[in-house]
Amino acid sequence: KKGLNVRDKMLWCTRALKFIVCILGKLVEDSVLEVHVAAKATYNEVLAPHHSWPVRQVARTALSQCPWRRDMLKKLEMTNVEFIAAATELLGLMAPMVTHVHLTLVKFGLEKPSAIGGTILTKDGQLPKPKAAPATETETQTTKTTAEADTADTESVPAAE
């Protein structure tokens, strides 16, 4: 028997959607957060627990190549305010669906209830509220350091067996 079975495909598809939704959620919640910081932090929460040590190292290296927020906005031909509005609308559609699929997988014993990123909605069934946006568009160019995401990268190398 080769390849993944249907259950595994559904799990990984759901995890990938959780990853996307959580990155968007972080970028909406913090209007100056850099994409690579959001991507690394989300990877550590959502996907890393399901990957082997070598895969985690490769994924983290790849995620460090995500564009800067200003470059992403330029490619999307959007201002930060427009991006946040569009991403909030998309999250309003995706988050409840991803949460429902996650809870269904949990119900049938296919995913752990504790899987991070599974329930993206707050306890009252709402999307998390974004933090207040900076007063001017130029303030959105301010970047956060990568120290937040990089601190999670400092895992020790597993001992040789």
Which pLDDT value is given to residue 125? 52
Which residues are CB-neighbours of 22 under 8 A, at least 6 positions away? 42, 45, 46, 117, 120
In this predicted structure, which of 47-56, 86-95, 143-152 has the lowest mean pLDDT?
143-152
109-157: per-residue pLDDT in tens? Answer: 888 877 766 556 555 555 556 555 554 444 444 444 433 444 444 444 4
The rounded distance, in Å, linking the Cα atoms of 106 and 110 is 6
30-46: per-residue pLDDT in tens? Answer: 999 999 999 999 998 88
Burial 69-91 (b: 16+ CB within 10 A, else e): beebbeeeeeebeebbeebeeeb
6-25: per-residue pLDDT in tens? Answer: 888 888 888 899 999 999 99
